[in-house]
Structure 1
Amino acid sequence: MQTGATLPQVTFQTRVRDDSIGGDNPFRWDVKTTADFFAGKRVVLFALPGAFTPTCSTFQLPGFENGFADFQAQGIDEIYCLSVNDAFVMNQWAKAQGLKNVKIIPDGSGEFTRRVGMLVRKDNLGFGLRSWRYAAIVNDGKIEAWFEEPGLADNHGEDPYGVSSPETVLNWLVEANAEVAA
């Protein structure tokens, strides 16, 4: 996507805890839209190839989680992690990672990812269709800044990481806010 573009309007099938259900699995389906996540907020959105994968679990997600206060200090309301995984997988990954700050968005069908041009084949790893790694600053549903890893391609032999890192995105915010203040 390009700076200034509006995010596509899609629905996301999420699962939320509902204690009124009772039992061992007190969760219900909760349909969310693009507007539910992005309208009226300035957020960081980052997307990655898959929950529980090494780079995503070791560097990218923990970096955004642990740096949340720094992002808030730069005017960010929320940080969202999106992956082409279903709500069950994303919820278990969030639980395993002990997330308290970053919120997850399951793009199980890959519709959002396809519509932003980031859906790639990862058959070489047995993953099928997944998201290319990227991050964005989104202001009220519009792309303010876009951070896409190089080499976007199906079945890429590597997993580039750096352009969409928390450090890169935070540095961009600090510089952008310094320019506004000057």
Structure 2
Amino acid sequence: MIGKRLPAVTFRTRVRDESLGGSNPYRWEDKTTDDYFKGKRVAVFSLPGAFTPTCSTFQLPDFEKLFGEFQSKGIDEIYCVSVNDAFVMNAWGKQQGLTNVKLIPDGSGEFTRKMGMLVCKDNLGFGMRSWRYAAIIDDGTVEAWFEEPGFSDNCESDPYGESAPQNLLEKITARIDERVSA
């Protein structure tokens, strides 16, 4: 995956717009891969589903807490992608109290499929979802890749470690240290 350009995809998002008034002031807004990744160095991670145990207890909250450390390593943004629609992603972000991590809804799974990370999770009643992975993306190109082992349809386990924010920070720090000592 290293050196691969991200696929060109349009994401259907819902954006708060107070000018609409009412109890649900959101409007549709299309965002492209370039809108999220062009001209930035970002950490992106993808997970099987919003509101699921590992995703909600560890992965998303830890990326949120460690945002400052990622910034100190030259990361501009942190994005979380999930094969969930914009309504679910917005509700999950609100429930998690996010201020740093931005959620990207991949409701149709198009981005995930084009990344080669779409798996069937019928055994859990999920349907098609993302395999858990993370990456460092520099201006739309994969700089570093962190994929959980065991990629397969209907995997009986939910591995988590490679795509943990602590692992990404450790690897980023090691690369910086290598460059400094070279």
Tell me the TM-score normalized by structure 1.
0.99
1:143 equivalent in structure 2: 142
Post-superposition, which runs of at least 4 consecutive aligned residues in structure 1 deviate over 6 A? none
Post-superposition shift, 1:178? Answer: 1.2
Q: CA deviation at 1:41?
A: 0.3
What is the 5 A alignment of 1:1-182? Answer: 2-182=1-181
| RMSD of Structure 2 on Structure 1 (CA) | 0.5
Q: CA deviation at 1:176?
A: 1.0
How far apart in 1 are the matches of 2:180 and 2:86?
40
Q: Count residues with an aligned counterpart.
A: 181
**Structure 2 unpaired stretches of 5+:** none
User: Shift of the alpha carbon at 1:177?
Assistant: 1.2
TM-score normalised to structure 2 length: 0.99
| Cα distance in 2 between the residues matched to 1:3 and 1:100 | 29
- AA in 2 matched with 1:137: I
- For 2:121, give the aligned amino acid: K
The residue type paired with residue 166 of structure 2 is: E
Identity %: 67
* Structure 1, gaps ≥5 residues long: none
- Structure 2 Cα separation of the partners of residues 162 and 4 of structure 1: 23
Larger deviation, residues 5-14 vs 172-181:
172-181
Shift of 1:179: 1.5
State the SS of the aligned residue for 2:19.
coil
Give 1:162 deviation, angstroms: 0.3
Q: Which secondary structure does the structure 1 equivalent of 2:161 belong to?
A: coil
SS at match of 1:147: strand
Could you tell me how far apart the structure 2 residues matched to 1:136 and 1:157 are? 24
Amino acid at match of 1:65: E
Q: Distance in 1 between matches of 2:174 and 2:41?
A: 16
